[in-house]
Amino acid sequence: MIFHVQMDVALPAGLDPQRRDELLAAEKKLALQLQHDGIWLHLWRVAGKRSNISIFEVPDADALHGILSSLPLFPFMQIEVTALAQHPSSVEAQS
């Protein structure tokens, strides 16, 4: 299944700078690995915000939840998930 995911990150203002750097580095490492594994298909920053729009391909919603909840920044995220389906007018549908 393909999912559109918007993640808004709100790190606490008083978070220890070293802990912040560790969380960000761990988040980047996992995000890169998931992209290399073909799970996190697209990742875009929302301009002017600590937010991203992502596309994931996973077997089901439970698998997506497992991935999202494993992200180091998960405790500091507001996440909105939308399941996507093939549109009959897309180029891929014509193949």
Domain that holds residue 26: 2-94
The verdict on pTM exceeding 0.85 is: yes
CATH number at 63 reads 3.30.70.1060
pLDDT in tens, 41-77: 999 999 999 999 999 999 999 999 999 999 999 999 9
pLDDT at 19 over 80: yes
* 69 burial level (CB within 10 Å; 0-12, 13-18, 19+): exposed
Count of domains forming the chain: 1
- Please report, to the nearest 10 degrees, the dihedral formed by the alpha carbons of residues 34, 72, 23, 38 taken in order: 10
